[in-house]
Structures are given as structure tokens and as C-alpha cells.
Structure 1
Amino acid sequence: YGTQRIRTLSRFINNELKLTNLDKLGKLNNFKFEDLPLSRQRRFNRATIRMIQLTEDADEETRRDLFERINTGSVELNEMEKRRGILPGKFTYLVEELSKLPKFRELCLFSDAAIARRDPQEFVLRFFAFLNNYQNFESKVGVSKFLDRYLEKTNEDENTNLKKMRDEFETMIDFVEEHFPNGFRSGKKSNQTTTRIKFESLSVGVALALREKSNLQYRGDDLLNPSKSNFQNYTKGDASSSKKKVIRRIEYVRNQLLDK
């Protein structure tokens, strides 16, 4: 996709084409590249072209979706949409599958806009990346690159156990549904979509606790109760993603559930 445009630019630079049918820059009609002032030629040659390269493994649905988005011209692809096209693979497909689970979407209360932005897919990716690698998170790398690296590595790893990952995600979702009436939402605005920080902290904390105690039972609402817990302070909107704070909020949830 887009090769016709690139070839057209190449032909213009090589003086094989003339500018025609220009309205606002009518004085440039019938100009070849060599007819432009040298300063304009140099500026033109210095311009960069941003490209997204799809691998041969990208399925037709992905290619078509990216093509339509790029060609509408008004909305830039977000990070999760780029990952879908650039980093396809077995784990990427699992993320896509789990992101569509009705129970998961209900517990997070995703808006239509959030679904269109592919937030459910990013939430699932965040869950696995932080669950399996949160102690190695580095704030200087940033969350986006951290997620990219985990996605790529897990796609390529021959030992990736998709069934185990699927089961662990679904078990975590079942636990949250049973023990937290508002799902991943907490605080005064429990009727709004949960934030990324709250989701990753609660979901990963729950999964870590279940790894230590598979028959874990939690009775009460202390963990998400602002007057009885530090969870709100650790996951408020301006909470940073420093390594220390990421570890603190995830392990806080785990330890509260295990009554440590």
C-alpha cells in the first residue's frame, strides 16, 4: 500500500512528471522538479516520509484495516494499532482474542471510543507484560517500548504457552468478577472506564496472589475502599510509572489479598 505514491514522488524528482491542475499554486503548473528554485528542491529532498512496514505474516484483515485508516488521512494510528500490523504472531492473536471477552469488557466498562482506540487490546497486553516482567520495567525505556519488547519476545518464544496464558487471564477475570462488585473500577467515578494504571495494578496483583494461592478467597471491600486502603493513592491519575512505584502498587494489591 502506498507504493504508487512513492513511485510518483520518485518520478517527479527525476523530472519525469510535470505539476498540473494546481489551484492554489497555479504558477507552478507545468513545472518539473528541476524548474523549482534550488532552495525548494533542497527542502523537498530533506523531507522525511513516515512509513509502517507490514510483515508477510500480517493477515488480510490487518492490512485492509491499516490501509483504510492511513488513507482516511485524518486519524493517526495509535500504538496498539501499529503493534497489530507490525508485530503479528501467536501472542498478538491471543491478545486480540482475550480482548473481546464480554466479561472482561464489562468489568472495565469500555466506552465505544475506547474500543475504537483498541484500549481492550492494550489492557490485555499490559496485563501479561507486567505480570511476567514488572520487576524488569525501566521508566527510562517507557511503557510503550516495554510493551513492544514483551510482545515481540513472546511472539517469537517457542516456549510460549498460550493455553496457560489464556487460563490465567480468565481465572483472574473470574476472581475480579466474584470479589469486586465494580470490577476494575474504583473510587468516586466507578461508573467510568477504568484507567490503565488501576487495571494493571489490580489485575496483575490478583494474578500474582492466585499464583501463590490458587484457592484464594477475599471477603470485604477494604482494598478498593479509599478510607481503608492506599490503592487510590498508588493508582491516582497522576501516578508515575517509575519502576519503584510500578512495583509498589502491584505488590500492594498482591500482599493485601494474601493478607501479608
Structure 2
Amino acid sequence: MTNLSLLTDDKVISDEAKELAEQAIKLKQKSSDFDIREFPTELIVDKYTRPIPEIDNKTELFMPEYQREFKWSIKQQSEFIESVITDLPIPYIYVADVSDGDNEGRIEIIDGSQRIRTIARFLNNMFELESLTLVPELNGFKFKDLKGSRQLRLKRKTIRFIELIGVDEEARRQIFYRLNSGGVTLNPMEIRFGTNDGEFLLFLQELAKDEKFKRLCPISQGRIRNREYEEMLLRFFAYRFDMESYVKEVRSFLTNFMAKMNGKYIYKEGESKIIFDQVHFRNVFEEMLNFVDNNFEPLYFKKSIKNISVPRIRFEALSVGVSLALSSGQPIFKENIPEWLNSDIFSTLTDSDASNSIPKLKDRTFYVVNNLLNLPWQPSSTAFIKSLAGKSVIPFLEQGPDEEEVGIRGDQYDLF
């Protein structure tokens, strides 16, 4: 018989080292409980789309900011609905009961946002089934086209949820990344810290400590630990100075911008070069911050006075919009700031489920710019056009074809 000990290193781990390792494991373990629940699809849609007045018209079920955008094609959505209708196995959806902060008591989606949004879209007749092979007879159907009895059965079809209890924000992010990236636990900003070090990174780290910035733009401790301030600043400078380079994928756009600022980006023919001028960048940031401090009181970047953590999308729209307006050299119109800052339109444009498609990004940014310059504004995103025309009460579920998402009036958003 082979002596297995001869095939391994004869290094001996001491009892003290074993005990230290055990203590480290226990320290890193996330103490949590969970329940397995089954919700009918009709209730899932209600929890995800119905605003609740008692919690500032937020929905009970929500997507956190670290979640990815809605990217399923109509074919993928159709196949999922076909699976639900025909009782094929559906993977568990992971959610968490939020125990503190602005979202206390709400249910955060950790894994399963594409499925939840697809169910909500179909039950709201927002797309036709297509490219089905299992039940091709369903091609061309919307929910309303199904027999009444089938509609009832689909609405009470249950989906299994694993609801985590007592899990903090950092742990929820870790669970999401592990479920969606094959065990890679670093978030995008952490990855950039490891691969794009340089003068610009040090600059972001320094600005992230700015006391005025933290006062005007408070965020939770969990987000601070995940380098959210650095992420927000990166987005501000990237959209402010290089928005026209953004095509579709936010992560690669931000990573490329950081590489440009650190002198590590290889420009393609025809691309405009951007030089990192630390003095200029700081002046632009401080000019924007001072304007917000002097004119957006008492909300500043917050959605409401009760909020204790600023949504990333709201910060992006306000910071970039203010900076672009100030850089235009045109007179700033301050009289109506409270009106548009607190408007339902701006709330819709900066909803936590809003995506970063080009027209949506420019719609919310130039809503701020145009109001500050007293210029007319019209939405270009399919979702916002329908919503503001009263044709859709749930714009974050709208998904137009790519050609529609280019926008009907893209020229209104020419940068200065």
C-alpha cells in the first residue's frame, strides 16, 4: 500500500497555528439565519412595483445599487416565462431582510433580479413571447392573450425564495459577487485599486476623505468599506470629462477612463485624448461641491431629508449636471431649483432601478443641466417617454429595442 504521507509535504502545522486559523474563520463567518419562502408571481410583482406611502413610496422588494442592469433579451425572457408556465424547475431567488439604514424592513434582491423583472414585465403585458421551441404555440402572446384560467394559474404559480436574515450590507455584496462571478469576491472598484494604481487613484482616495463631500453626500458604513466614495468620484469625473466615450457597459467604461487618467490606456485611432490635470480636476470638483452646498440645502445630494445614504444614480445626475451647467459659461437659473429638485420627474429619472443606458444617463444628467440653464428639456429614452406621457407607471421595467434606446433627440444632449 502506498504511504500517502510520502506524497505530501512533511510540514507540520502547530496546534497554535490551527487555533489561530480557527479563530480567523469564525471572525470572517457571517452569522445569519434564513427562511425558505414561496411567493406567488402576482405577489412578487406587487412587492416589486407597488409604492408604499409609509416608506416614502418605495417598494418592498428592491434592487441594490451593486446589482447589474436588466440585460435579458426578449428571447431569454420568453424562455423563462415558458419555463414557469410549463412547470420546469426554477432556481431559488436569494433575497435579504434589510435590518438598518434607509431600507430597513425592505427586501433586497441579492440574486434573481433578471427573473423578477421578467415576471413583472410579462404580467404587465410589456413584451410578447418569441422564439419558443417547447411550446411554439405561445409565440406572439402577451399575458393578456392567455386564457383567463391560464392567467389565474400563472399569477398564483409560486417561486421559491431564500430570505437571509441578519446579514449586513458587506455580506450581501459578497454573496452577490460569489453567486455571479464564480467566486470572485472583489467589487469593480477594488479590482481597479489593484490594477490601475497611479496618480489618479491617489487623487480619488484623497478626495474621498473631503469632509464637505461626506457631509453633502452621506453613505452607509458598508458602502464606505466597499470604496463607494471612490467609485462615485470616478463616475463623476468619467461622465463629466468623457461621457461621449461611454457606449453600453459601465464597468469597462470606468476602467478605461481610470487607465486613461493613469496613462495606461492605448488610444484607438480617432479617440480624443484626455489628460489628467490634477489642479483642474480639483477645481471642477470643488466648484460643483460649493454650488450644491450653497443652493441645494437642506437635501444637497439626498432624495429626502430623512435619507441617510445617497443613491449613486442621484449623485451622478446632480454632480455631473451641475458641473456641466457651470462650465457652459451661461447664466445659472436658481429660482426654480427646489421645484425640479423635488419633482416627481427627477425622482423617476433617478429611481434606484434606473439603468445606465445612454439615453437614460443623458436624460437625467441634462434634466439637471437644462433646468439650471433655464432651457427646455424632453426625454429621449423609450422608458421615460412612456412614463412621462402617462403610458407607463413602471418605467424601470420598460425595455425598448436597441434602436429605440439610441433616443429620438440625441442631439439635444451635445456636451459643451
Band the TM-score falls in, shorter-chain normalisation:
0.5 to 0.7
Partner Cα separation in structure 2 for residue 223 and residue 133 of structure 1: 26
Counterpart pick for 2:339 among 210, 219, 222: 222
Residue type of the alignment partner of 2:370: N
Compute the displacement of 1:217 (Å). 5.4
Q: How many residues align?
A: 190
Q: Do the aligned residues in 2 keep the contact of 1:127 with 1:204 (CA within 8 Å)?
A: yes
Distance 1:90 1:202, change over 3 A: same
Q: 1:102 aligns with which of 211, 226, 232?
A: 211
Distance 1:107 1:215 in 2: 24
Q: Distance in 2 between matches of 1:201 and 1:159?
A: 23
Offset from partner CA, 1:227-249 (integer Å, 9 cap, x none): 5xx21111101111111111111
Q: 1:116–1:75: structure 2 CA closer, same or farther, 3 Å change rule?
A: farther
3-state SS of 2:339 partner? coil
User: Are the equivalent residues in 2 in contact too, given 1:134–1:247 (CA < 8 A)?
Assistant: no
1:1-260 alignment to 2 at 5 Å?
17=9, 76-139=185-248, 142-156=249-263, 159-181=275-297, 182-186=299-303, 188=304, 190-213=306-329, 216=332, 218-219=334-335, 220-227=337-344, 230-260=345-375
Contact kept? 2:322, 2:369, Cα under 8 Å: yes
1:143 Cα shift? Answer: 1.3
Q: Deviations over 1:123-162 (max 9, x none)?
A: 10000001112233122xx211111000001111893211
Matched residue, 2:163: none
Contact 1:206–1:253 (8 Å) recurs in 2: yes
- Using the TM superposition, give the Cα deviation of residue 75 of structure 1 relative to its aligned residue in structure 2, in angstroms: 9.8
1:180 CA drift (Å): 0.6
- 1:108–1:194 CA contact under 8 A, matched in 2: yes
Given that 2:321 and 2:368 are in contact with CA atoms closer than 8 Å, whether structure 1 keeps it comes out as yes
Question: Superposition RMSD on alpha carbons, in Å?
Answer: 2.6
Give the conservation status (yes or no) of the 8 Å contact 1:87–1:151: yes
Distance 1:244 1:217, change over 3 A: closer
Q: CA distance change for structure 1 residues 16 and 214 in 2, over 3 Å: closer, same or farther?
A: farther
Report the Cα distance in structure 1 between the residues aligned to 2:291 and 2:234, rounded to whole angstroms.
Answer: 19
Once the two structures are TM-superposed, the CA of residue 223 in structure 1 deviates from its matched residue by: 2.1
Task: For residue 167 of structure 1, report the CA deviation from its aligned partner.
Answer: 0.6
Offset of 1:18 from its aligned partner? 6.5
In structure 2, give the amino acid aligned to 1:184. Answer: F
SS in 1 for 2:338: coil
Provide the C-alpha distance between the structure 1 equivalents of 2:281 and 2:330, rounded to a whole number of angstroms.
Answer: 15
Q: Deviations over 1:175-205 (max 9, x none)?
A: 001111111112x465231111111111000
Q: Which amino acid aligns with 1:240?
A: S
- Deviations 1:67-91 (CA, angstroms, capped at 9, x unpaired): xxxxxxx993322122112101111
- Paired residue for 1:49? none
**Higher helix share goes to which structure?**
1
Cα separation, 1, equivalents of 2:258 and 2:242? 11
For 1:6, the equivalent position in structure 2 comes to none
TM-score with structure 1 setting the length: 0.66
Q: State the identity %.
A: 35
Task: Note the residue ranges of structure 2 that are not aligned, 5 or more in a row.
Answer: 1-6, 14-182, 265-273, 376-416
Q: Which has the higher strand share?
A: 2
User: Which AA in structure 2 matches 1:168?
Assistant: V
Alpha-carbon distance change, 88 to 202 in structure 1, aligned in 2, over 3 angstroms: same
How far apart are the structure 2 equivalents of 1:256 and 1:88?
Answer: 38
Distance 2:261 2:306 in 1: 33
Could you tell me how far apart the structure 2 residues matched to 1:236 and 1:18 are? Answer: 59
Contact kept in structure 2, 1:135 and 1:247, CA below 8 Å: no
**Equivalent AA in structure 1 for residue 343 of structure 2:** P
Matches of 2:350 and 2:306 in 1, distance apart? 14
